[in-house]
Amino acid sequence: MEFFIPRFFKPPSTSYFLFGPRGTGKSTFLRHYYKNALWIDLLKPEVFRKYAARPERMIELVHGNPEKTVVIVDEIQKLPELLSVVHSLIEEKKGQIFVLTGSSARKIKRAGVNLLAGRALLRTLHSFLLSELASIYSFQKALKYGLLPLVVNAENPNDTLETYVALYIREEVQMEGFVRRIGNFSRFLEAISFSHGSVLNLSNVARECQVERKTVEGYVKILEDLMLSFKLPVFRKRARRRITVHPKFYFFDTGVYRSLRPKGPLDRPEEIEGAALEGMVVQHIRAWNSYRNGKYEIYFWRSRGGLEVDFILYGTKAIYGIEIKNSDSIRPKDLRSLQAFHQDYPEAKCILLYRGTETFLRNNILCMPCELFLQKLLPNWEPEQLFQ
């Protein structure tokens, strides 16, 4: 029997899309949660061929199984034509719930198909949170290998990550015809890995991988459509000083970043480690926020003078500045960016996460161990509780 780890994700009571990169456990979760659902698995070649030839076959299947109250179509992007069939079935209003999983919105967008005209909600399943795993998986392992379920359950996480990157990122991109030259795309993946946790400069990436800037822009869009990366916008609300305009770039999982990032004698380990830690924190914050239906907008803040706060959580009632330091002690200069941010936004509460073991308040900034913060990210938890 497959080992199942409960997730914080709570399915809605109506039809919905469940997006997320491959390997985040969408099918595993749904098979456990909807044990008696009617399944259409488009990853199976014979199933794909059957419905590609005649999409309306799905109507016959659903009508022939009226006792099935949940219908799941796995990897809907493989056959976007089925969306119009699902739409018509939802319009019949027979009380069935349709769950449509996908690891890419690219083909759906290309086909010009709208996402059921709002008749299905949009949800995302992320890599594990440390707080979901309790004592099953350590902070150090998460930082080294990431938190993809298929990696967490692997006997050899390194090999699994390398296979994931080789087969999924490179071969699937080529197989789906997203790029013409896989060699250029492979060079791009290595070049863009140096941008993880940094302000994105497309011209620099283009120079590194020796392709045109517009091509690099298209490659970044492919990664975003496959949900393998995301960008954080700059926080500019009521800005009191000159702020940078370019977003920051992250891979969706720190293990994937480490697997793609080249390592050599000129690379400083602490530089890679720092980017990995920052990425792991933001992937946790995104997942936690997603499972709470996005109560916060997530930004970063950077002045033209070089002051930077890694993450800004902006909600209806509160604003938090969060800075990450890959060190086990806090120096006065480590607090400067948060102090400047607090000066511009006095209503903000500031948190510095570091690799030490003590929690303390210094200059109105809460300093706490990174691992402790990540373990607190439970669905009903609020950052405000840290200050009470």
Residue 376: inside a domain, yes or no? yes
Say what the pLDDT of residue 1 is. Answer: 39
Residue 278: inside a domain, yes or no? yes
Q: How confident is the model at residue 248 (pLDDT cuts 50, 70, 90)?
A: very high
Examine the domain organization and report whether 254 and 187 are in the same domain.
Answer: yes
User: For the segment 91-139, what is each residue's pLDDT rounded down to a tens digit?
Assistant: 999 999 999 999 887 777 665 566 676 778 899 999 999 999 988 899 9
The dihedrals phi and psi of 376, each to the nearest 5 degrees, come to -80, -10
For the segment 365-375, the average pLDDT, to the nearest whole number, is 97
Residue 9: inside a domain, yes or no? no
Provide the percentage of residues in the chain whose pLDDT is more than 90: 76
Q: How confident is the model at residue 183 (pLDDT cuts 50, 70, 90)?
A: confident
Examine the domain organization and report whether 222 and 357 are in the same domain.
Answer: yes
Say what the pLDDT of residue 315 is. Answer: 95
For the segment 181-186, the average pLDDT, to the nearest whole number, is 84
Q: How far apart are CA 50 and CA 19, in angstroms?
A: 24
Task: Among 125, 158, 191, give the residue marking a domain's end.
Answer: 125
Please report, as a single letter, which amino acid is at residue 70: V
What CATH number does residue 72 fall under? 3.40.50.300
Lookup: tokens for 75:
């990897």
Examine the domain organization and report whether 103 and 208 are in the same domain.
Answer: no
Number of Cβ within 10 Å of residue 138's Cβ equals: 12
* Res 382 pLDDT > 70: yes
User: For the segment 298-329, what is each residue's pLDDT rounded down to a tens digit?
Assistant: 999 998 888 999 999 999 999 999 999 999 99
Distance, C-alpha 38 to centroid of its chain: 28
Examine the domain organization and report whether 167 and 289 are in the same domain.
Answer: yes
Beta strands in 42-151 (DSSP E): 70-74, 97-102, 121-124
Q: How far apart are CA 353 and CA 373, in angstroms?
A: 8
Examine the domain organization and report whether 64 and 164 are in the same domain.
Answer: no
Say what the pLDDT of residue 82 is. Answer: 93
Say what the pLDDT of residue 116 is. Answer: 73
Lookup: tokens for 370:
């990174």
Q: How confident is the model at residue 266 (pLDDT cuts 50, 70, 90)?
A: low
* Res 171 pLDDT > 90: no
Q: How far apart are CA 109 and CA 85, in angstroms?
A: 17
Say what the pLDDT of residue 176 is. Answer: 66
The dihedrals phi and psi of 371, each to the nearest 5 degrees, come to -60, -40
Residue 8: inside a domain, yes or no? no
Examine the domain organization and report whether 110 and 253 are in the same domain.
Answer: no
Examine the domain organization and report whether 59 and 171 are in the same domain.
Answer: no
Residue 279: inside a domain, yes or no? yes
Domain count along the chain: 2
Task: Among 110, 125, 140, give the residue marking a domain's end.
Answer: 125
Examine the domain organization and report whether 164 and 72 are in the same domain.
Answer: no
List b or e across 88-101, with b for residues whose CB sees 16 or more CB atoms inside 10 angstroms: ebbeeeeebbbbbb
User: How do strand 198-199 and strand 248-251 relate by DSSP bridges?
Assistant: antiparallel
Examine the domain organization and report whether 257 and 361 are in the same domain.
Answer: yes
Location of structure tokens 């439970």 = 378
* Res 387 pLDDT > 80: yes
Range of the domain at 198: 131-387
Examine the domain organization and report whether 145 and 116 are in the same domain.
Answer: no
Residue 302: inside a domain, yes or no? yes
Q: How confident is the model at residue 242 (pLDDT cuts 50, 70, 90)?
A: confident
Using an 8 Å Cβ cutoff, are 260 and 189 in contact? yes
Residue 32: inside a domain, yes or no? yes
Say what the pLDDT of residue 119 is. Answer: 77
Q: How far apart are CA 101 and CA 287, in angstroms?
A: 17
User: How do strand 297-302 and strand 248-251 relate by DSSP bridges?
Assistant: unpaired
Residue 354's DSSP bridge partners are 369
Handedness of CA 103, 34, 25, 278 (dihedral sign): positive
Say what the pLDDT of residue 9 is. Answer: 96
Examine the domain organization and report whether 172 and 266 are in the same domain.
Answer: yes
Task: Among 84, 102, 125, give the residue marking a domain's end.
Answer: 125
* Res 2 pLDDT > 60: no
For the segment 146-166, the average pLDDT, to the nearest whole number, is 92
* Res 267 pLDDT > 90: no
Examine the domain organization and report whether 259 and 380 are in the same domain.
Answer: yes
Location of structure tokens 């991109």 = 173
Residue 178: inside a domain, yes or no? yes
For the segment 205-226, the average pLDDT, to the nearest whole number, is 92
Say what the pLDDT of residue 111 is. Answer: 59
* Res 27 pLDDT > 70: yes
What is the largest distance, in Å, between two alpha-carbon atoms of the chain? 69
